[in-house]
């Protein structure tokens, strides 16, 4: 990576401002129900603290407050949890910018400060230059460790880099190492498992993969638009009618490019989404039924292709994995990936990461991305603004 990382800069005695992703789930009593995002930021936070900075100022968004201070979206529960994990005081600031905040920080003996939710101000998502400058004024150096928002050009991810030397944290670096490698120089064969609900969300990804991947396995709700394009019956299964021509075009391009595009060949169908007792396996989707998972033959075909792969990216569940009788296909694929020893297995964020966790195999994957949207855009070949804006290694005489 040609971007500066925390290891490249002298942090001693400096004020560091760190963009983290503390967008944690909270219950009705403001208790954090899953602190994995806080845990994920700890290596960078602890490393910075070990270097003896004057201050470490942390900032994040939480939820979608849309420019207003929303009581249930305050970051106080995160400050409390951080304090427990770090074993030192964390000052919870009353806001993220302004004179009052500057005074609070200067007056507090705490080394670690957590700014209030950035998205209480619309200027954050508007990437307002004045707001970014105010954030930058709090520190000497900027570190970005929030991969999940790196695809957004916001004041705390992009704007602020105009004013401070900007480095990547360990989490961001790790994401780039695995996903970046898959994008630019994958060990081959490179196989991508695609699923999820919509073709429209994944068109750019498939387009980009046609020049990169050796095989694309298509399951999940998006498969039926492809099958429709082949003239196959799909019953009441998910369909994006307006994308049928695109699906056809993608299949033709795959053929020309020599990419093995593998579609679903048998199905788990039900008479209606809620009629779990009508579940059955079929080779052709009957009228009046809906397919909610890939069938056993398809699972075996997918596994055969995966068995020779050296790099695997999994993006999207191959069935409705949230519902027990519809989850078998996704479960089997997840378990198969978990026991592959010779392949690098990368799980895109969002639903595939949730599925890997649900089936207890998350630990067995080489890398699980912390950013659904960001990992998708990276794999689509797009430049992520939050990463592009970081200082290049050759720009500093460190």
Show which residues are catalytic: 37, 198, 350, 373
Least separation, in Å, of the C-beta of 21 and ligand AMP? 19
For the bound state, the minimum distance from the C-beta of residue 269 to ligand AMP, rounded and expressed in Å, comes to 10
- 17, 165 Cβ separation under 8 angstroms: no
Residues 347-376 close enough to bind ligand AMP by CB under 6 A: 350-351
Contact segment (CB under 6 A) with ligand AMP among 111-119, 209-217, 311-319, 337-345 equals 311-319
Question: What character string, x for contact with ligand AMP (CB under 6 A) and - otherwise, covers 61-100?
Answer: ----------------------------------------
Query: For ligand AMP, which is the closer residue by CB, 186 or 319?
Result: 319
**Interface residues for ligand AMP in 320-349 (CB under 6 A)?**
320, 322
Per-residue buried b or exposed e for 183-212, using 16+ beta carbons within 10 Å of the residue's own CB: beebeebbbbbbbbbebeebbebbeebbeb
Nearer to ligand AMP, 210 or 355 (CB): 355
Is the CB of 77 or the CB of 319 nearer to ligand AMP? 319
Whole-number Å distance between alpha carbons of 292 and 321: 9
Between residues 52 and 288, which has the closer beta carbon with respect to ligand AMP? Answer: 288
The residue (of 35 and 351) whose beta carbon lies closer to ligand AMP is 351
In whole angstroms, how close is the CB of 238 to ligand AMP at the nearest point? 5
Of 252-260, 317-325, 337-345, 359-367, the segment contacting ligand AMP by CB under 6 A is 317-325
Q: Which of 26, 49, 70, 197 binds ligand AMP (CB under 6 A)?
A: 197
Please choose, out of 62-70, 184-192, 251-259, 319-327, the segment that lies near ligand AMP by the rule CB under 6 A.
319-327
Among 235, 317, 371, 385, binds ligand AMP (CB under 6 A): 317
Q: How far is CA 133 from CA 112, 129, 143, 327, in A?
A: 21, 6, 15, 48
The Cα–Cα gap between 318 and 223 comes to 9
Contacts of 13 (CB under 8 A, 6+ apart): 52, 53, 54
Closest CA to 193 of 355, 28, 373: 355
Residue 201 C-beta: closest distance to ligand AMP, Å: 5
Closest distance to ligand AMP from the beta carbon of 207 (Å): 17
Q: Does 196 bind ligand AMP (CB under 6 A)?
A: yes
Contact map string, positions 263 to 292, toward ligand AMP, x by CB under 6 A: ----------------------------xx
CB 233 within 8 A of CB 285: yes
CA 101 to chain centroid? 31
Count the residues of the shown chain that bind ligand AMP, applying the rule CB under 6 A.
Answer: 17
**Nearest residue to the partner ligand AMP, using Cβ:** 196
Least Cβ distance, residue 248 to ligand AMP (angstroms):
20
Q: Where on the chain is the footprint of ligand AMP (CB under 6 A)?
A: 195-198, 201, 220-221, 238, 291-292, 316-317, 319-320, 322, 350-351
């Amino acid at each position: 990576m040609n971007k500066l990382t925390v290891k490249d800069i002298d942090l001693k005695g400096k004020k560091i401002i760190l963009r983290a992703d503390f967008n944690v789930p909270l219950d009705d009593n403001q208790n954090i129900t899953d602190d994995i995002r806080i845990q994920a930021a700890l290596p960078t936070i602890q490393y910075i603290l070990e270097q003896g900075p004057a201050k470490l100022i942390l900032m994040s968004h939480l939820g979608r407050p849309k420019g207003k201070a929303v009581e249930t979206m305050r970051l106080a529960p995160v400050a409390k949890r951080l304090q427990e994990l770090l074993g030192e005081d964390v000052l919870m600031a009353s806001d993220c910018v302004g004179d009052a905040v500057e005074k609070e920080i200067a007056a507090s003996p705490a080394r670690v400060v957590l700014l209030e939710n950035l998205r209480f101000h619309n200027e954050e998502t508007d990437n307002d230059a004045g707001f970014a400058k105010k954030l930058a004024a709090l520190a000497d150096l900027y570190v970005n460790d929030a991969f999940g928002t790196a695809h957004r050009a916001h004041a705390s991810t992009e704007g602020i880099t105009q004013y401070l030397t900007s480095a990547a944290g360990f989490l961001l670096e790790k994401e780039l190492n695995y996903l970046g490698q898959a994008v630019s120089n994958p060990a081959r064969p490179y196989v991508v498992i695609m699923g999820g609900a919509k073709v429209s969300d994944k068109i750019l990804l498939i387009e980009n993969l046609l020049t990169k991947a050796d095989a694309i396995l298509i399951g999940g709700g998006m498969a039926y638009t492809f099958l429709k394009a082949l003239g196959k019956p799909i019953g009441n299964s998910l369909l994006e009618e307006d994308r049928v021509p695109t699906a056809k075009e993608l299949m033709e391009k795959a053929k020309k490019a020599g990419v093995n595009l593998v579609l679903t060949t048998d199905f788990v169908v039900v008479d209606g989404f809620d009629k779990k007792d009508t579940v059955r396996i079929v080779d052709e989707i009957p009228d009046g039924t809906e397919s909610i998972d890939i069938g056993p033959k398809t699972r075996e075909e997918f596994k055969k292709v995966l068995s020779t792969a050296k790099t695997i990216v999994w993006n999207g569940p191959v069935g409705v994995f949230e519902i027990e009788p519809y989850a078998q296909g996704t479960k089997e694929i997840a378990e198969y990936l978990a026991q592959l020893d010779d392949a690098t297995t990368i799980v895109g964020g969002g639903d595939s990461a949730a599925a890997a966790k649900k089936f207890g195999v998350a630990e067995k994957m080489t890398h699980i991305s912390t950013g659904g949207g960001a990992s998708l855009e990276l794999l689509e070949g797009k430049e992520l603004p939050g990463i592009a804006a970081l200082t290049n290694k050759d720009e500093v005489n460190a």
